[in-house]
Amino acid sequence: METSTVGQAPRPARTGSGANTPAPKRSRPAAGKPGGPTKKRWFTWTRATPYLLILPAVIMELLIHVIPMIVGFWMSFIELTQFYITNWSEAPFAGLGNYSASLSFDTSQGKQLLQSFGTTIGFTILVVGVSFIFGMSAALVLQRSFRGRGLLRTLFLIPYALPAYAGIITWKFILQRDNGLLNEVLVNGLGIFDEAPFWLIGDNAFGSMVVVAIWQQWPFAFLMLMAGMQSIPEDVYQAAEIDGASIWQQIRHITFGMMRPINAVLILLLTLWTFREFNTPFVLFGAVPPDSANLLTINIYGRSFINWNFGLGSAMSVLLMLFLVLVSGVWALINRKVNRDA
């Protein structure tokens, strides 16, 4: 009797969440107190397991993301400067002062923020655009099986597998003016330039930063797109081929068509990551980047950790976050339309 009851119990528990499954409710009193009144136990392992399993993640999420975000939001409303960093509660309330200081575009501070914003948008468009095109091209080439495909896949994924800092520091060496590999090739090898150009200061710094960021980002685009393409059934292509569709038509109508939802998610992810990119400019240029490469994140870092004005830095972070929420919102709207149309 006992064996059969217990043996049945897990089955409904697996299909339902365990909370509203009738079978265990019926069976439990019978197994526990035969003939007694039905009493709901507030704790059962079946019911608690999903919550317990998710609890560590929730705690960590709260500790690492949610609480710091709330604290950051609060910081943006106080004058948290060097005088109050050991006792935040004494920092005077600034109201919207930090926000208005960030957004006063007639001051050099506001102008610099605006300029950083423009630089960041340009950087994001270029990095996301090129990474996506590279990723898509490589994924298309490697979609069909051929000799050496595995090797190429591995090769393409190396930048993604390398620790970010190690990769960027290597680029920093390559881009040095006097003894960098790039100038060695361009100036001494090919003789394209008479005088060695600077790649890490001045206007060239922007280009260098974009190249390094693409180098890091595109393998992710490639990986996602490659995985997406694997899920398109081969029959669809065969059917299209029988119907006389050219390779280009197959790519355009089948691959691109079926990849739409994946592309949408990928572009959103790449945009969010690139817009808040910090490692690349910080490792390449240090805390004082050239004007051409002064991304928003570095600007915020400067306000907070160099000028020790954490209130202002937080206000700028909140503004950055609001902008990204806006971008995500617009994406969600467009994507809804895409899904509906599809």
Q: Site mask, other proteins, residues 157-196, x = CB under 8 A?
A: -------------------xxx------------------
In whole angstroms, the minimum distance from the beta carbon of 98 to other proteins comes to: 9
Displacement of CA 211 from its chain's centroid (Å): 18
Burial class (CB in 10 A: 0-12, 13-18, 19+), 273: middle
Rounded distance between C-alpha atoms, residue 197 and residue 318, angstroms: 38
User: In the 8-state DSSP scheme, what is residue 198?
Assistant: P
Can residue 290 be called a binding residue for other proteins (CB under 8 A)? yes
Binding positions for other proteins, 120-159, rule CB under 8 A: none
- Number of Cβ within 10 Å of residue 270's Cβ equals 22
In whole angstroms, the minimum distance from the beta carbon of 190 to other proteins comes to: 20
> Of the candidates 239, 307, 337, 339, which one interacts with other proteins according to CB under 8 A?
307
Can residue 21 be called a binding residue for other proteins (CB under 8 A)? no
In whole angstroms, the minimum distance from the beta carbon of 307 to other proteins comes to: 5
Rounded distance between C-alpha atoms, residue 180 and residue 168, angstroms: 14
Residue 93 three-state SS = strand
In whole angstroms, the minimum distance from the beta carbon of 7 to other proteins comes to: 9
Rounded distance between C-alpha atoms, residue 234 and residue 83, angstroms: 66
Can residue 19 be called a binding residue for other proteins (CB under 8 A)? no
Q: Which is nearer to other proteins, 112 or 143 (CB)?
A: 112
Can residue 60 be called a binding residue for other proteins (CB under 8 A)? yes
In whole angstroms, the minimum distance from the beta carbon of 196 to other proteins comes to: 8
Give me the DSSP letters along 100-126: HHHH-TTSHHHHHHHHHHHHHHHHHHH
Contact partners, residue 236, CB within 8 Å, separation at least 6: 254, 258
Binding site for other proteins (CB under 8 A): 6, 9-10, 45-46, 48-49, 52-53, 55-56, 59-60, 63, 79, 81-83, 85-87, 101, 107-109, 112, 176-178, 198, 200-203, 286-288, 290-291, 302-303, 305-309, 312
